[in-house]
Amino acid sequence: MDVFSNPVAAASVITAMLGVIAWLAFTRTSPRGAPPVVPSWVPFLGSTLSFSKDPVAFLRQCQAKYGSVFSVYLAGKTMTFFVSPKSYSALLKHKSLSHKPAFQDISQKALDQSAAFARYTQALHPDSPVVDYHKLIHPHLQHSSAVGALIERTLAQQRRVLGQFGASQRLSLLSFVERCIFESGTRVLLGDSLVDANPTLWQAFHTFDQSFPLFVAGVPPRRIVSVRVT
């Protein structure tokens, strides 16, 4: 007898399979000595939906429940978060840890860089052109006259942006700071002509910024666009 020819039997089998999946997800335990794993019940996605909705609130909830170090299952990958400032110095100075492999993965998923370009720019032992490029930046920024000119242009643009807000206009502190930094920073770094030629630049950046956690988690861009539209 074919089980799936009977709707009741088929539904029972599917329900049992989902129950097993949910049980495995909820009872997933971390190896001894490893950080605790935040339980999730959605196959493959894990906690992606909760994380993308409000990353800061999600991480704070996890911190309150599991401590300052915990792992989260996001889009097929287990990511470990260190949310205590006391852990930063130890992580940054550890000789066995490097941010470059993670940046290489993020640059391909979120910035749409090719694998070859990402490997070249984020290599653990970069080629001489990459090293020489970074050597050009640091002396320029360390020069007092260059930094002074940059600060002067930034302050001028920030005064211009602040003048655009009306006395009766109300918005959150985060939105206010985001808008001021973006409006002034883009004009200082990219120039007025480029910003004026792209009036939707802020909206495009804001949409990308809101979708960034989903990009990093590996969600396809078309899926993100459809979610934003609906």
Tracing tokens 């490893």 back to the chain, one arrives at 34
Ranges of the chain with pLDDT below 50? 1, 3, 23, 26-27, 227, 229-230
pLDDT of residue 182: 93
Cα angle 51, 55, 61 (rounded to 5 degrees) comes to 85
Structure-block tokens of residue 192: 């007025």
Question: How many other C-beta atoms are found inside a 10 Å radius of the C-beta of residue 18?
Answer: 12
- Entry pTM: 0.54
Tracing tokens 């599917």 back to the chain, one arrives at 14
Interval 102-112: pLDDT, tens: 888 888 888 88
Interval 117-155: pLDDT, tens: 777 777 766 667 767 776 766 666 666 677 788 888 999
